[in-house]
Every structure is written in structure tokens, then in C-alpha cells.
Amino acid sequence: MKRHLSTAPLSVTRPQVRAYIDRLEPYLRQKLIPFWLERVVDPECGGFWTYVDRNGNRTAKTDKTLICQLRNIFTMSSIHRAGLDDGRALAAARQGVRFTIEHFWDREYGGWYWIADRSGKVTDDNKIMYGQSFGVYGMAEYMLATGDPVGREYAEKTFDTIHRCAADIRGGGYWEMFHRDWTLKEGGVFGGDRKTLDVHMHLMEAYTTLYEMSRLPAHRRKLIEIMRLLTSRMCHPEFGTGMAQFDEDFHPLPAILFRNVWGADRDTETGKRPLNNTNYGHNVEMCWLLMRAVDLLGEEPQPWLPVIRKMDDQALQWGVDWEYGGVYVEGPNDGPTTQTVKEFWQQAEVLVGFLDAALIFRQQKYWDAFTNVCDFVWNRMINHEVGEWYALLERDGTIKWDHLGHEWKCGYHTVRAIIQSLKRLRALADLVEPR
């Protein structure tokens, strides 16, 4: 059956929706959030612990990555904002903000260093835009959660640094990989000559929360500019899906693996990805983040729906594993996947994205996709003893990477996904007919 072509209207019942709420809410409150509250703060040095094994125990690796510090600031703040905090999330966020500003903010050149040792001594002083983006996102969320002006100060300092140092006012968009003093890195695998969908999507994510915090015209304008840039220059002209990498003028390039990105150690293929290749979870993530921006801006949604629809439908057609459950990694736009493993963050993002699609388009297929992935995560990915999700599974759910915390895995995707899914599930429950 060509499920992705189905136009069958949403026919889920309120009890069916409530069943997911009743499963996920206790899980969030009693398992997932406590998982992180109990172990994410470094009790001796401050900041956030990065590495956690399959049983939830901290490992011997003690590096503190910028990504984990800032994402945890975001996550702890968001837990507090969502009213799910017993006080520990707020305290964790506060101490994390102090630690990160003290050790990771470069007072001379601006921006955030990339990696420090456990005590906070910097070991990698590069300026990576992927991280700077979370400086805006995490600090703005912290400000919104707490009213602490330090959050605003550093969200705005980061935004200003990004524009002073990384914005390409000739070609548009941003450069992404720099040395400490904001000299561009070399090209090729060092990333100094490419622009990526990944970074630009995260900037859209960040600017949305920044604007939510500040309501400044300048922030609003940059948010709309990046939304337009993403959808008009970084999506495939025919398929409408995200393309991964570009040259300075946004000509798409076969994607290569850079240093410093997740999955780099998993990739057994040498060389480049084909141009006809797209990442399902990333696309669906972009869709819900775009919709969130549209809502926050108070913009008319209609012009944005075609691009959102295309990406959601492509993921539904080729990305969802209707046999084993969950979503694959990536593949051609118009054919089956080339990577059947199941990444934790993709499952997380499509939960939110498919629920968003169900709410926007009111079609049953999006609900079916949501339940498919949610059941897969519940049955195969979550370590229910301790509460977090394994990082990577084989197609059939066999555990492949069993760590629960890693430099590219903290509570950001998982906690956000459950919080955001529950919001949408409640909205859906209110919409559908009781039976």
C-alpha cells in the first residue's frame, strides 16, 4: 500500500491518543528527567558530565564538550520552563551557565571554545558554529526559564559574535569552522569552505528562541532571513528535501565527513555521499522547527506548508521502517534507504515532527508514523531500567552503540522530544472525537 499517498483523514480516537500520553508522561517525569537530574551535574568540578554508559554509570572519559554544556543548559532550562522541575533542573542550569561562561567564553576574540577537560581547562579552542548556535539557544532558553539577565547577555553576545565573525555578507549564510581567532579553517575535511544545512537549521532553531526572548526587530529579521535561506536555497529543487552541504554560493556538493561531527566514527564509507541523498530525521526536525518559528513570528503558515509537506511525506515514504519500526538514517530521495540502522536522535525528532504533521495536515498516515516510531523507541531503544535511550540500533533493534551519554548525546533530543510530543498529543486529544 502506498501509505505516503494516502489522504485518509485523521481518525484516531481520544483514548488512542491518551494511551500515548499515559505512557509517556510518567516515563518523562519518573524516568527520563530523573535520569539526567541524578547524573548530569559534575558534583566536584561543576558543569555537566558528558559520558555515561549503558547502565547509566559515568565512564572514565571526563572531557567536557561545549555541545554538552550548552545543550544541557537548554535541557535543564526547558525542564524548568515546562513545570517539570523539582528544583534540581534550575540549580543544574544555573551552575552550568556559570561554569560554561567561566571556562568556555573567549573574552578576547568572542565566541565559545569547543572542548575542555573536566576542570574546565580548554583543550580545543576552535570556534565551531554548530556550538555557537547552541550558545544562543541554550542561553536564551535559560533566560526565558529563569529571568537571569546573564542568559540574555550571553545569548546576545553569541548572536553578535556570530554575525561579526561568521556571516558571509557576499554569498549569504554563514561560514562554520574557525580557529580561535576566527580565521577560517582550511577546506575539505576541515570544513572551512562549506556551508551546511545542519548548522543553518540549528541557527534557525536558536534564533527562534532568541526572538521569543527578546522580541527585537533585528532578531526577527534574521530569523525570517534564515528560514527563507533554508527553504529556498538548501532544499532540493525537485524533491524539496534537505541537501547536506554547499559551496560559498549554495551550489550543492556531494557531502563529505568533517572532523567534529557525530557519526564520523561510524561511517565506513570513504569519500562522498551522492547528491541524491537526504536525511529523514533531519528533514522532519527541520519541519517542526520551521513551524515553530512560523507560529512564534505570527506569520501566515500557508506559504511554508508545501515545503513541510514534501519533507514529511518523503520521510514517511522512504524513511519509516514499516516492518521493524523506527526511521532509518538516510537514502536517495526517490528510493529505499542505504542505511538501515536506527539513530536515537532521528527517532526523537520524527516523533515531534510526525505529530506536528498530524496536527497541521489532519491525515491518519502521520499518526500511524508517529505510533510506529514511538512503539519502536519504547520497545527497543529505551533502557527502561534507567530511563535513557541507546545511541544506535541495528535495523531490527539489536543494540549497536549502547552508551546513553556521549559528546553528541545528552538529554537534548530525547527530553525535548518527549516534552514536545506530549504538548502535541494533548492538543490532538482535545481535537479528536471521543469514542
Interface contacts to a copy of itself, rule CB under 8 A: 159-160, 163-165, 167-175, 179, 181-184, 216-218, 221-222, 225-226, 228-229, 232
Nearest residue (CB) to a copy of itself, 185 versus 413: 185
Nearest residue (CB) to a copy of itself, 250 versus 401: 250
H-type alpha helices, 196-266 = 197-214, 217-233
Nearest residue (CB) to a copy of itself, 59 versus 183: 183
CB 355 within 8 A of CB 418: no
CB of 165 to a copy of itself, least distance (A): 4
CB of 287 to a copy of itself, least distance (A): 19
CB of 73 to a copy of itself, least distance (A): 22
CB 293 within 8 A of CB 226: no
CB of 193 to a copy of itself, least distance (A): 13
CB of 167 to a copy of itself, least distance (A): 5
Query: Which residues, in sequence order, are CB contacts of 1 under 8 Å at separation 6+?
Result: none
Beta strands in 92-233 (DSSP E): 115-116, 122-124, 127-128, 177-178, 195-196
Q: How far apart are CA 315 and CA 350, in angstroms?
A: 9
CB of 102 to a copy of itself, least distance (A): 23
Q: How far apart are CA 291 and CA 366, in angstroms?
A: 16
Buried residues in 399-422 as b, exposed as e (16+ CB within 10 A) = eebebbbbbbbbbbbbbbbbbbbb
CB 75 within 8 A of CB 410: yes
Beta strands in 231-311 (DSSP E): 245-246, 252-253, 278-279
Nearest residue (CB) to a copy of itself, 179 versus 272: 179
CB of 258 to a copy of itself, least distance (A): 20
Nearest residue (CB) to a copy of itself, 165 versus 244: 165
Rg (CA), the chain: 20
CB of 160 to a copy of itself, least distance (A): 5
256: left (phi over 0), alpha (psi -120 to 50) or beta: beta
Q: How far apart are CA 407 and CA 349, in angstroms?
A: 18
DSSP tally for the chain: helices H, then strands E: 13, 13
Q: Which residue has the cell 519509516?
A: 320
Nearest residue (CB) to a copy of itself, 173 versus 319: 173
Best CA proximity match to 190, nearest among 233, 127, 148: 127
CB of 11 to a copy of itself, least distance (A): 40
CB 344 within 8 A of CB 389: yes
Q: Which three cell numbers stand for residue 182?
A: 576566527
Q: How far apart are CA 2 and CA 64, in angstroms?
A: 46
Neighbouring C-beta atoms of residue 229, cutoff 10 Å: 18
DSSP output for 265-285: TT----S---SS-EEHHHHHH
CB of 221 to a copy of itself, least distance (A): 7
Nearest residue (CB) to a copy of itself, 235 versus 360: 235
Nearest residue (CB) to a copy of itself, 111 versus 120: 111
CB of 132 to a copy of itself, least distance (A): 13
Nearest residue (CB) to a copy of itself, 60 versus 169: 169
Nearest residue (CB) to a copy of itself, 31 versus 179: 179
Contacts 24+ apart (CB under 8 A), 106-109: 106/180, 109/180, 109/181, 109/182
Nearest residue (CB) to a copy of itself, 160 versus 247: 160
